[in-house]
Amino acid sequence: MASTAVQSQTIPQESSSSQWEETSPATTLESNDGSRDSSPAAATPTGDFASPQHPLSLDPAHELPQELINQGWKKFWSKRENRPYFWNKMTNESLWEMPRMANSSQYDPMTDPLGIQCSPMPSESPATPVIAAKRRASDTDGSSSPSAKRFVLGGPWDLEVQTIAVMWERTPSLLPPPHPQIELLRANYVGRLRQHYQEMCHSREGIDAPKESFNRWLLERKVADTGSDPVLPSACFREISMSMYREIMNDIPIKLVRPKYSGDARKQLSKYAEAAKKMIESRNVSPRSRKIVKWNVEDAFQWLRKTQNATYDDYLERLAHLKHQCQPHLTEAAKSSVEGICLKIYHLSIDYAKKIHDKHWALLNEHGIAEIRSSLQVTNPKKVLCYPVQLALSSPRLPTVEFVQDKDMTILTFNGDSVRINSLYFQKLEQLYRWNCSDDRKFENFLSRVWCLLKRYQTYFGVSNNEGHCTQGALPVSVFQALQRNFDVSFECFASPLNCYFRQFCSAFPDTDGFFGSRGPILDFRPVSGSFEANPPFCEELMETVVEHFEKLLSHSNEPLSFIVFMAEWRDPTPVALAKLEASSFRRHHVVVSAMEHEYRHGFQHVCNRTEVNIKSAHGTVAVWLQNEAGYSRWGPTKERIEAFLDSYKLNRDREHQEIIAEVPVTDIAITTATAAITTTATVAITTTTTTTTATLAANVITTATTPCKSVTK
């Protein structure tokens, strides 16, 4: 992707007096140094968004000689740079200095700033054409503006860290481009599937659907799914999900929770015994199983009647004994019913995925976009710095999305369906989009794609309070800083555009996230060198597959390659993934951070209050360094590095960073000239709430970007 220079822009506080800081609907131009800029498009803005003029002139265009006007030149005033600039509506060229006329000896300020070589009389021979400096968002030396010209978007991230991850060139993705109508349809189908799951668990087994079970089912299914839908599984080798099966069985006959007091433990033992007796009597089981369960239940009731002053531990011990004796027989009794639930949910998912696929392609076909059925190949692939996922198919013009800013929240609405995001994180998405999206330099589809992104993650995690946030928890900012400073980590293996710390990351959805920098799912990403952080969501099948994936990458590369993997310290029993990780031949070091002595960042940090972002971890965290020989030589976990790493995990380190960010309030959204251009071209409807604050924005956009597909010389 080409690099781009971008202008900082604020939305006016009142729509009745809206003016742009820089006039233009943002046609992209390339400057002499390879940077790009936004300049006025051929269509002149009208109404509230008409081009601003110098306060001393009613018509800036008439200040130019007639010859320049005939050539298409006009003069405009840059409020930020505080000087005029010139734009040609025929060629889309944009200059800081007045263009030279064909038969003029006018001096050129770039080559003759004092006018020494300029003759006062017109010359008979045409002057040698000199290219004037093209207008940029800001000069490199910053001398033309009283304010600093390079702004960094401040927040709980570091988007300035450049990637060192190297991979082989790869083909574009064949997934269809996202569309708000299809995303809304998918959200309805996934919500319907969640409801079916709850109803079947309640009607067949008398329990509520296990918490987060559906989300983990989506994660587990996607490990083996080869279907076309990015969310709903539709082509899995095994139709019955062992993850869903285990979690339902674990809540039969009742869901057990750790009691707080002895009285609660006694009640739970009694309820379990009663539920086990009722279940075994109502199911078709062998006489032996029925006899064993009834005998153990009656024994538990007799113990409860005889023992009135048992301790808390006595009740827990008795409950564990009863479950150990009864659960195998209860599992056998419920097996066919639970398998039926898993099969029904999977078959409904296949049906819904097909309906979404057909509707999506019918919509794209209406815009002349046909499905690519043949596989794509890269001829003569080269090693390159990693770059975002690219879609093989072009995107149609997306429908209108309404934009409203309410204090520090931004609300996007499509067809009456609203999604919310913290305004600071909205600016983050804008910056990531500017760096990574190559097919929408005018930001015409920006708000629609942000709506699709937010709706996708809302659909994926569910609409209940705090549902799904555990699968999106992130490391503290201080830990990321220590990883980058000591181990050159510049890439996250499990993140999203909403919670990423670095600008390069892998995420679950390449179609919606690729516009914001995602390198795609980690299992499809095969780097040959680099230093990576991996904090997988809590799904045993996914974690196990990821460990195997990392070991395969390390064994196939002779270049420096390092993965620092974080997992919850679950014991009794130890998960297979954690056991594999600790027994790996590539393990160089591992540390354990104790429970309640460190924090994680909330999985919904893009919508929750700042004071609720940091959450104490109820379990310990294991960090394991997997490195090949070259990676160990370059980023080995030395004693000094490990000490610095553990120091970054201390409590309140992240809160100190959060307080620094909170000192700079976020008021009106910093939406760029390119985004404002969306309104003038009738792509989006923007509504802003009236505010009176004059506080500066928390940050502005960076005016430089890097080319994501730069070859690496070996």
- DSSP code string of 345-373: HHHHHHHHHHHHHHHHHHHHHHTT-----
* Other CB atoms within 10 Å distance of the CB of residue 118: 14
What's the rounded Cα separation, in Å, for the pair 539 and 523? 14
User: How many CB atoms neighbour CB 329 within 10 A?
Assistant: 22
Q: Give pLDDT tens digits for 586-612.
A: 999 999 999 998 899 988 889 888 888
- Range 334-338, long-range pairs (CB < 8 A, 24+ positions): 334/205, 334/249, 334/252, 334/279, 334/283, 337/204, 337/205, 338/204, 338/205, 338/245, 338/248, 338/249, 338/252
Instruction: Give Cβ neighbours of residue 656 (< 8 Å, ≥ 6 apart).
Output: none
Provide mean pLDDT across the span 372-398. Answer: 93
Q: Which pair of structure tokens corresponds to residue 125?
A: 């021979």
Residue 217, token pair as written in the block: 């089912």
Identify which of 90, 166, 89, 99 has the alpha carbon closest to the alpha carbon of residue 130.
99
Position 113 confidence tier, pLDDT thresholds 50, 70, 90: low
In the chain, pLDDT over 70 holds for what percent of residues?
A: 75
What distance lies between CA 240 and its chain's CA centroid?
A: 30
Question: pLDDT band for position 69 (50/70/90)?
Answer: confident
Label residue 659 by pLDDT band (50, 70, 90): low
pLDDT of residue 696: 33
CA-to-CA distance for 636 and 640, rounded, in angstroms?
11
Cα dist from 631 to 526, 542, 626, 636, whole Å? 16, 25, 9, 7
DSSP 592: E
pLDDT tens column, 270-293: 999 999 999 999 999 999 999 999
Which of 57-66, 157-166, 202-211, 329-338 has the weakest average pLDDT?
57-66
Write down the pLDDT at residue 217.
95
Per-residue pLDDT at 150: 60
Q: Is the pLDDT at 487 greater than 90, yes or no?
A: yes
State yes or no: cis peptide before 233, omega within 30 of 0: no
- Compute the average pLDDT of residues 611-639: 94
Q: What is the mean pLDDT of residues 479-504?
A: 96
Contact 400, 683 (CB under 8 A): yes
Q: How many CB atoms lie within 10 A of CB 226?
A: 10
Place of tokens 């879609």: 391
pLDDT, tens digit, for every residue of 522-541? 999 999 999 999 999 988 99
Q: Where are the alpha helices (DSSP H) in 557-623?
A: 576-582
- According to the model, what pLDDT value does residue 210 have? 93
Q: Whole-number mean pLDDT of the chain?
A: 80
Cα separation, 562 vs 554, in Å, equals: 8
Longest dimension (CA), the chain: 120
Q: What is the CA radius of gyration of the chain?
A: 31
Question: Of residues 374 and 398, which shows the higher confidence score?
Answer: 398
| 3-state DSSP assignment of residue 628 | coil
Give the 3-state secondary structure of residue 602.
coil
The pLDDT value recorded for residue 145 is: 42
Beta strands in 116-218 (DSSP E): 166-168
Report the alpha-carbon distance of residue 554 to residue 209 in Å, rounded. 39
d(CA 675, CA 664): 23
Can you read off the two tokens belonging to residue 382? 């080269």
Helices 639-648 and 477-487, axial angle in degrees (round to 10): 160
Beta strands at 527-534 and 166-168: parallel, antiparallel or unpaired: antiparallel
> What is the predicted pLDDT for the residue at 320?
95
Tokens (6 digits) for 298: 């009656």
Lowest mean per-residue pLDDT among 317-321, 514-518, 556-560, 602-606: 602-606
In whole angstroms, what is the distance from residue 335 CA to residue 342 CA? 11
CA distances from 392 to 181, 242, 291, 334, 371 (A): 20, 35, 63, 47, 10
Mean pLDDT throughout 394-406?
94
Strand partners, 134: 95
Distance CA 364, CA 702 (A): 35
Indicate the residue type of 35: S
Q: At what angle do helices 312-366 and 180-205 cross, to 10 degrees?
A: 150
Pairing of strands 166-168, 94-95: unpaired
pLDDT classification of 207: cutoffs 50, 70, 90: very high
H helices of 442-558, where? 446-461, 477-487, 510-513, 540-556
With beta carbons less than 8 A apart as the criterion, state whether 325 and 303 touch: no
CA distance 331 to 253: 9
What's the pLDDT score for residue 655?
64
pLDDT at 676 over 50: no
Task: Identify the CATH number of the domain defined by range 469-663.
Answer: 3.40.50
Q: Is the pLDDT of residue 679 over 80?
A: no
Which residues is 687 bridged to in the sheet? 404
Instruction: Tell whether the model's pLDDT for residue 430 goes beyond 60.
Output: yes
**Could you tell me the end-to-end alpha-carbon distance of the chain, in angstroms, rounded to an integer?**
22
Predicted confidence (pLDDT) at residue 116 exceeds the cutoff of 80:
no
DSSP letter at 403? E
Q: What percent of the chain has pLDDT over 90?
A: 60
pLDDT given at position 107: 52
Q: How confident is the model at residue 434 (pLDDT cuts 50, 70, 90)?
A: very high
pLDDT value at 618 more than 90: no
| 183, 452 Cβ separation under 8 angstroms | yes
Domain ranges across the chain: 180-367, 391-461, 469-663
Single-letter residue type at 519 = R
Give the E-state strand segments of 101-179 in sequence order.
Answer: 166-168
The pairs formed by 220-223 with CB atoms below 8 angstroms and a separation of 24 or more are 220/244, 220/539, 220/540, 220/541, 220/542, 221/346, 221/349, 222/508, 222/521, 222/542, 223/523, 223/541, 223/542, 223/545
For residue 657, what pLDDT band results from cuts at 50, 70 and 90? low
Can you tell me the distance from the alpha carbon of 68 to that of 98, in angstroms, rounded to the nearest whole number? 9
Q: What pLDDT does residue 603 have?
A: 82
Task: Decide: helix, strand or coil at residue 173.
Answer: strand
Which of 150-159, 174-183, 278-287 has maximum average pLDDT? Answer: 174-183
The pLDDT, as a whole number, for residue 581 is 95
pLDDT band at 689 (very low <50, low <70, confident <90, very high): very low
3-state secondary structure of 174: coil
